[in-house]
């Protein structure tokens, strides 16, 4: 027996060691299975230096991104790719600043803080390089593109993402459009749809936080879905909070924002937050005492004081006394629903002493369901340059549908230098005024845009259009009828002349002061000045007519008369001795 004991003990120790190793491997595999890879692609192009409410967009993005990084679960492997941050005009300016990894939050934060916007927006190449780094991943990875504009390097990011998905690369692409135009949004939505992700509109700090929070929640949800089912356990007593729109109504089954606060406020009137959750129903485990519950569902808010007994399980039903309204827009009565973005603003009907109303809801989308406390409100809806205002009523527990009639039409305006000539492809300044002038002869401006061609959405009525191209201007009256949609090319009745200074037949390189006047008056004075420039040569766009050009170089002055016809393009060398 004494000889057998060491052998048995060694086998026992070996067995225990193998068992521990097996358990460690299983635990490690389980941990890997719950890890999520996420690569942030941040726009560092020059346009990110533009400001929103006096703050640079890049500063807003940095603040929100840093907080998001801090809040990411430990199981997330995160990385950072940035474009347009090192040089101007370089479509290859893309850098993987932080490779995807775990436990690198401080490095991510330092790199985000160092970004200085400079260059272009090579979205397609950035997505392609990011996908290459994730090509071999066994589990689906997440790309999050945060940009304030569309592709500027002559490529199609939407087609690329479709191709990547077709190659079997396991990735999901979310896109956050930060202060983008309607045209830019179309491309970004296409990228998100092709990547099986979501598109988020963010026009300010709050909306950017909301968008990235939702992205984080989606990542967390994927982690939770991969976790093995935990063994059933008996839940400790706690306080379950649920919400209803009205007393006795059905329980709300969509996300509610729950905040638990101390009842006592500090000297600034603020209550210390104890807990925060988002979900249709949540259980809170709190010490015995009284608390303040702040709940938010849509744009409906309720604050209620409750008492908690730690040893008891209890359910509190929070009544919002709210209803819902689905808003959509139409150009005219009986018309089809508008499918492009409408700006929705909802205000309390009562004004303060300065005549201002408190805004309670804001959204940009073709249609939207608003959840509001029961009562009457003033709605302002803006589509293009058409504005509709009307009162709406919300009843507790009820959902209504309302189509807002803008009583408006649309017109696509373009311009040509002459009747039947090709449309101008460069920027035109469009000013549209109400046709009727006030007592001082002034007209109210209804729309303004700088573009070669533009679709204007305007309330029905008569307008005066003033397009300007170079130094050529015209005025034209138009009529907009409800539901109308038509195109109009305006004849600027203009031509172009290239004025250049020469001496002895050779071009001068020195800057010349050019002054152009209408006609030449019979008196000593010149006619009305219509154009002015300081260059060695310049192409002037002018309405057809007779002109006098005065060229000045130092003390030398030369005058030359010329005529210009509609659609004409000519060169006029001016000899300066």
pLDDT in tens, 359-378: 999 999 999 999 999 999 99
- By 3-state DSSP, what share of the chain in percent is helix, strand and coil, each rounded to 5? 20, 45, 35
User: What is the rounded CA–CA span in Å between residue 75 and residue 222?
Assistant: 11
In a domain, 231, yes or no: no
Number of other CB atoms surrounding residue 407 within 10 Å = 18
User: What is the rounded CA–CA span in Å between residue 185 and residue 205?
Assistant: 18
pLDDT by residue (tens digit) across 165-218?
888 888 899 999 999 888 899 999 999 999 999 999 888 888 888 888 888 887
Say if residue 400 is in the same domain as residue 412. no
User: Can you give the length of the chain in residues?
Assistant: 577
Token pair for 68: 């998001």
Contact 545, 564 (CB under 8 A): yes
Say if residue 209 is in the same domain as residue 88. yes
Q: What does each C-alpha distance from 277 to 26, 256, 294, 300, 360 come to in angstroms?
A: 32, 8, 11, 17, 22
Q: How many CA atoms lie within 13 A of 363 on its CB side?
A: 18
The residue-averaged pLDDT of 238-242 equals 92
pLDDT confidence band for 25 (50 / 70 / 90): very low
Say if residue 483 is in the same domain as residue 525. no
Say if residue 336 is in the same domain as residue 463. no
pLDDT confidence band for 525 (50 / 70 / 90): low
Say if residue 255 is in the same domain as residue 296. yes
Which of 308, 335, 352, 463 is CA-nearest to residue 404?
Answer: 335
User: What is the rounded CA–CA span in Å between residue 444 and residue 454?
Assistant: 20
The residue-averaged pLDDT of 40-54 equals 91
Strand 368-373 and strand 322-330: pairing?
Answer: antiparallel
Contact 543, 493 (CB under 8 A): yes
Q: Which of 491, 518, 544 is the last residue of a domain?
A: 491
pLDDT confidence band for 538 (50 / 70 / 90): very high
Which of 31, 30, 60 is CA-nearest to residue 43?
Answer: 60
In a domain, 71, yes or no: yes
Average model confidence (pLDDT) for the chain? 88
Residue 110 has pLDDT above 90, yes or no: yes
pLDDT confidence band for 20 (50 / 70 / 90): very low
Residues 6+ apart with CB under 8 A from 107: 98
pLDDT by residue (tens digit) across 342-362?
999 999 999 888 889 999 999
Residue 29 has pLDDT above 50, yes or no: no
In a domain, 49, yes or no: yes
User: What is the rounded CA–CA span in Å between residue 21 and residue 15?
Assistant: 10
Residue 123 has pLDDT above 50, yes or no: yes
Which of 574, 552, 575 is CA-nearest to residue 498?
Answer: 574
Q: Which of 371, 405, 439 is the last residue of a domain?
A: 405
Query: Which stretch of 29-38, 264-273, 330-339, 484-493 has the lowest confidence by average pLDDT?
Result: 29-38
Residue 252 has pLDDT above 80, yes or no: yes
pLDDT confidence band for 233 (50 / 70 / 90): low
Number of other CB atoms surrounding residue 547 within 10 Å = 21
pLDDT confidence band for 234 (50 / 70 / 90): low
pLDDT by residue (tens digit) across 461-513?
999 999 999 999 999 999 999 998 999 999 999 999 999 999 888 999 889 99
Say if residue 386 is in the same domain as residue 487. no
In a domain, 120, yes or no: yes
Query: What percent of the chain shows pLDDT beyond 70?
Result: 91
DSSP 169: -
Number of other CB atoms surrounding residue 40 within 10 Å = 26
Which of 239, 231, 264, 394 is CA-nearest to residue 317?
Answer: 239
The residue-averaged pLDDT of 262-284 equals 93
pTM beyond cutoff 0.85: no
The CATH number for 296's domain is 2.60.40
User: What is the rounded CA–CA span in Å between residue 350 and residue 363?
Assistant: 21
Say if residue 102 is in the same domain as residue 201. yes
Strand 36-43 and strand 76-83: pairing?
Answer: parallel
pLDDT confidence band for 23 (50 / 70 / 90): very low
Boundaries of domain holding 251: 239-319
Q: Which residue shows structure tokens 């389980």? A: 30
pLDDT by residue (tens digit) across 382-431?
999 999 999 999 999 999 999 999 999 999 999 999 999 999 999 999 99
User: What is the rounded CA–CA span in Å between residue 348 and residue 378?
Assistant: 6
Residue 236 has a pLDDT of 66
Query: What percent of the chain shows pLDDT beyond 90?
Result: 69
Residue 75 has pLDDT above 50, yes or no: yes
φ, ψ for residue 372, nearest 5 deg: -135, 155
In a domain, 24, yes or no: no
The CATH number for 452's domain is 2.60.40.1120
Say if residue 376 is in the same domain as residue 426. no
In a domain, 249, yes or no: yes
Number of other CB atoms surrounding residue 192 within 10 Å = 21
Q: Which of 353, 376, 405 is the last residue of a domain?
A: 405
Say if residue 487 is in the same domain as residue 509. no
Say if residue 122 is in the same domain as residue 187. yes
In a domain, 26, yes or no: no
Query: Which stretch of 225-229, 339-343, 419-423, 552-556 has the lowest confidence by average pLDDT?
Result: 225-229
The residue-averaged pLDDT of 98-102 equals 90
Quote the number of domains for the chain.
5
The residue-averaged pLDDT of 50-67 equals 90
Which of 33, 22, 21 is CA-nearest to residue 228?
Answer: 33
Residue 228 has a pLDDT of 65
Beta strands in 445-568, from DSSP E residues, in sequence order: 445-451, 454-459, 461-469, 472-473, 476-480, 485-491, 494-503, 506-507, 512-518, 529-535, 537-543, 545-553, 556-564
Q: Hey, which residues does 241 pair with through a beta bridge?
A: 282, 316
User: What is the rounded CA–CA span in Å between residue 38 and residue 106?
Assistant: 16
In a domain, 23, yes or no: no
Say if residue 456 is in the same domain as residue 519. no
Terminus-to-terminus CA distance in the chain, angstroms? Answer: 125
Say if residue 360 is in the same domain as residue 414. no
């Amino acid at each position: 027996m004494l000889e057998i004991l060491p052998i048995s003990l060694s086998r026992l120790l070996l067995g225990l060691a193998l068992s521990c190793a097996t358990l460690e491997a299983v635990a490690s595999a389980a941990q890997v299975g719950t890890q999520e890879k996420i690569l942030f692609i941040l726009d560092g192009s020059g346009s990110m230096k533009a400001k929103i409410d006096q703050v640079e967009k890049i500063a807003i993005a940095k603040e929100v991104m840093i907080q998001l990084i801090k809040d990411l679960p430990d199981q997330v492997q995160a990385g950072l790719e940035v474009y347009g941050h090192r040089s101007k005009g370089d479509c290859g300016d893309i850098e993987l600043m932080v490779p995807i990894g775990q436990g690198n939050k401080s490095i991510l934060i330092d790199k985000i803080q160092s970004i200085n916007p400079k260059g272009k927006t090579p979205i397609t190449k950035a997505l392609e390089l990011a996908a290459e780094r994730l090509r071999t991943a066994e589990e689906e990875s997440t790309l999050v593109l945060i940009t304030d504009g569309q592709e500027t390097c002559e490529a199609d990011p939407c087609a690329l993402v479709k191709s990547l998905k077709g190659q079997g690369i396991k990735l999901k692409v979310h896109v956050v459009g930060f202060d983008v135009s309607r045209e830019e949004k179309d491309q970004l939505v296409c990228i998100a749809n092709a990547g099986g992700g979501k598109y988020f509109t963010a026009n300010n700090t709050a909306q950017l936080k909301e968008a990235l929070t939702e992205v984080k929640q989606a990542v967390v949800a994927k982690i939770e879905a991969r976790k093995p089912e935990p063994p059933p356990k008996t839940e400790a007593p706690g306080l379950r909070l649920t919400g209803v729109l009205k007393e006795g109504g059905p329980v709300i089954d969509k996300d509610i924002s729950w905040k638990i606060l101390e009842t006592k406020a500090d000297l600034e009137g603020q209550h210390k937050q104890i807990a925060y959750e988002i979900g249709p129903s949540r259980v809170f485990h709190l010490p015995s005492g009284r608390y303040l519950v702040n709940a938010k569902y849509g744009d409906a808010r309720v604050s209620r004081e409750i008492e908690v007994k730690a040893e008891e399980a209890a359910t509190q039903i929070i009544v919002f006394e709210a209803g819902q309204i689905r808003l959509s827009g139409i150009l005219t009565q009986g018309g089809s629903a508008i499918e492009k973005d409408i700006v929705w603003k909802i205000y309390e009907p009562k004004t303060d002493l300065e005549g201002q109303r408190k805004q309670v809801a804001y959204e940009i989308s073709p249609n939207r369901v608003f959840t509001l406390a029961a009562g009457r409100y003033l709605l302002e809806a803006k589509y293009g340059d058409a504005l509709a205002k009307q009162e709406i009523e919300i009843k507790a527990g009820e959902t209504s549908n309302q189509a807002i009639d803008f009583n408006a039409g649309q017109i696509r305006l373009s311009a040509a230098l002459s009747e039947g000539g090709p449309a101008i492809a460069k920027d035109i300044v469009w000013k549209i005024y109400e046709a009727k002038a006030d007592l001082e002869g002034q007209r109210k401006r209804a729309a303004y845009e700088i573009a070669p061609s533009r679709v204007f959405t305007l309330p029905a009525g008569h307008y005066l259009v003033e397009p300007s191209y170079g130094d050529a201007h015209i005025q034209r009256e138009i009529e907009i009828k409800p539901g109308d949609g038509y195109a109009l090319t305006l004849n600027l009745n203009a031509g172009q002349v290239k004025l250049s200074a020469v001496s002895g037949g050779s071009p001068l390189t020195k800057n010349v002061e050019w002054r152009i006047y209408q006609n030449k008056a019979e008196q000593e004075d010149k006619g009305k000045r219509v154009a002015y420039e300081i260059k060695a040569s310049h192409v002037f766009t002018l309405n057809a007519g007779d002109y006098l050009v005065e060229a000045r170089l130092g003390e030398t002055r030369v005058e030359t008369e010329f005529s210009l016809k509609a659609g004409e393009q000519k060169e006029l060398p001016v000899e300066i001795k």
